[in-house]
Structures are given as structure tokens and as C-alpha cells.
Amino acid sequence: MARIIVVTSGKGGVGKTTSSAAIGLGLALKGHKVVLIDFDIGLRNLDLIMGCERRVVYDFVNVINGEASLNQALIKDKRVSSLSILPASQTRDKDALTKESVGKVLDELSQSYDYIICDSPAGIEAGAMMALYFADEAIVTTNPEVSSVRDSDRILGMLASRSRRAEQGLEPIKEHLLLTRYSPKRVAEGEMLSVEDVEDILSIPLLGVIPESQAVLKASNAGEPVILDTESDAGQAYQDVIERLLGETVDFRFLVAEKKGIFSRMFGG
């Protein structure tokens, strides 16, 4: 049985797809069999972030409609053989997915994969509800900013009431907080909510803090998930997220602003 993990947020543009890509690839690099599913029907983007956009032939909706088999639609990652991507349809709309048909696809994937990562669309409509419905765990991606935190709380409500686990009275979805675009410098200056602030408000366990980083844009430009950039702060922070997902205890890094030494001040280093 696979662990089904939804990467969700409510608000758009907070880093769901970036995080899905990094986490999916990171778990696969650890030797696990991982499938990444893009649930954003009509606005496919995971393929771009993963760098496999030119290899999309069939998509999720084709599989649902029986126009292609899962094996035909799954794209094997060129970097890590244990990772596959199931792209969203670019032409259909969100109503193409039903609980029954999505459940069947997930069941089938569950036989051969260890992790199923569901990259949720923004919002709280049908598409987002479908992405979280079957989840065992949820990574609630949040920026330290008022509207994102509020929307995350709303999504937490949905996880607790609208998921399969809630409807069937099973053990609730395991929730994780992933704080992204964190700027320790601005936190120190009192301009940004701190990790503790967001934890206080949402009161769910912290999975990771990804610092605001230029590496993220570079990674998406190149179609190489940022976790591959092992030199970068964001890449390393995602690496820590993987360790924690796998049950390790890892200290949180990149929470304090780097102090500029006198030399870098003088020479602009």
C-alpha cells in the first residue's frame, strides 16, 4: 500500500508544484517508488517543473476515460528511474474527475508504488477537493503572509471534514506544515510572520521551512526540481523535509538571517 500525500494550500502561487516536484524527486532519490500526479486539470504545470513537458502523450483524464492505460500515460523520470509523473490534462475541465474513477486509478497505482504525491490545484473547488479526498497525509504549503495562512486554515477544515478519511470515520489525515518563501531577515525586522507565529495559528506539526531563494526560479527555468541543487539553501531545506517524511529527526536550518561579516560588508560579498 502506498502512502498517499496531497500537497495543498488553498491559496495559489505559494509553492505547491515546486514542493511536489522537490519532494517527489527527493523520495525517489532515496530509492522509493514514487508517482507524482498533477491534479490541476486544465492548468498543467508539474510537467514543466519536472522538465518532461515534451514527453507528455496521454494524461490523467485519458486514463480516467479509458483512452489510455496507466502505463501509457505515466512518464518515467529521466534522472531517477523509480519516479513517474502522471500529467494533468490541458484541454479538459475539472469535472472530468469523479471520486470513483480517481479512486480506481489510485488503487491501481497503490499496488506498485510506495508514495503517491498529489499536486493539488489552488482553491477549494472540485479539483482541490479531489486531490485531497483520498489522502493519508497532507502537506499544507503556506507562505508567512496573512492570506496564505488564512487559506491554509480553511484547507485544514476541509481535510478534517471533506476527505475520505473524515467521511468514513477513519483515522484523520496526518497534517504537515510546510512553510515556504521564508525570509529570516524580514522576520528579524518584524516584517514577516515567524515560524512560531504560523505554528501558533495553524497548530499543526512543522515539516519544513524553505527559505526564499533564487535557486527556486533557476530550478523551474531549467525544469530541474530545486532539490537537485544541493548547494542551494532551498535544495538543502527540501532535503531535510525528505528526511523528516522518512521519520528522521533533523534540526531546522535557515531560520536565522546570515550575519554579514565585516569583509563581505566592505567588499559586497
Partner 1 sequence: MALLDYFSRKKEKQVSTASKAKERLQIIVAHERNSRHKQPDYLPQLTEDILKVLRKYIKVSDESFSINLDKKDGDLNVLELNIELHDEQAS
Task: Cite the annotated binding site for ATP by residue number.
Answer: 11-18
Nearer to partner 1, 43 or 195 (CB): 195
Smallest gap from residue 169 Cβ to partner 1 (A): 5
Smallest gap from residue 128 Cβ to partner 1 (A): 17
Closest C-alpha to 84, from 60, 113, 107, 48: 113
Smallest gap from residue 172 Cβ to partner 1 (A): 11
Contact pattern from residue 161 through residue 200 relative to partner 1, giving x for each residue in contact according to CB under 8 A and a dash for the rest: x-------x-----------------x-xxxxxx--x--x
Q: The dihedral of CA 198, 16, 34, 211: what is its sign?
A: negative
Smallest gap from residue 106 Cβ to partner 1 (A): 24
Q: Say how far residue 243 (Cα) sits from the centre of its chain.
A: 15
Select the span of 90-98, 113-121, 142-150, 237-245 touching partner 1 (CB under 8 A). Answer: 142-150
Residues 6+ apart with CB under 8 A from 46: 17, 20, 21, 36, 38, 40, 85, 87, 88, 119
Among positions 43, 48, 70, 201, the unique one binding partner 1 when judged by CB under 8 A: 201
By CB under 8 A, how many residues form the interface with partner 1?
Answer: 19
Considering only residues 145 to 164 of the shown chain, the ones binding partner 1 according to CB under 8 A are 145-146, 149-150, 153-154, 157, 161
Smallest gap from residue 133 Cβ to partner 1 (A): 18
Smallest gap from residue 196 Cβ to partner 1 (A): 9
Closest C-alpha to 143, from 224, 216, 63: 216
- Number of other CB atoms surrounding residue 68 within 10 Å: 17
CA–CA distance, 53 with 222 (Å, rounded to integer): 12
Check if the beta carbon of residue 11 is closer than 8 Å to that of residue 151: yes
CA–CA distance, 259 with 132 (Å, rounded to integer): 40
Nearer to partner 1, 62 or 143 (CB): 143
Considering only residues 14 to 43 of the shown chain, the ones binding partner 1 according to CB under 8 A are none
Q: Say how far residue 93 (Cα) sits from the centre of its chain.
A: 22
257 binds partner 1 (CB under 8 A): no
Torsion on CA atoms 196, 199, 203, 204, rounded to nearest 10: -130
Catalog residues that contact partner 1 under the rule CB under 8 A. 145-146, 149-150, 153-154, 157, 161, 169, 187, 189-194, 197, 200-201
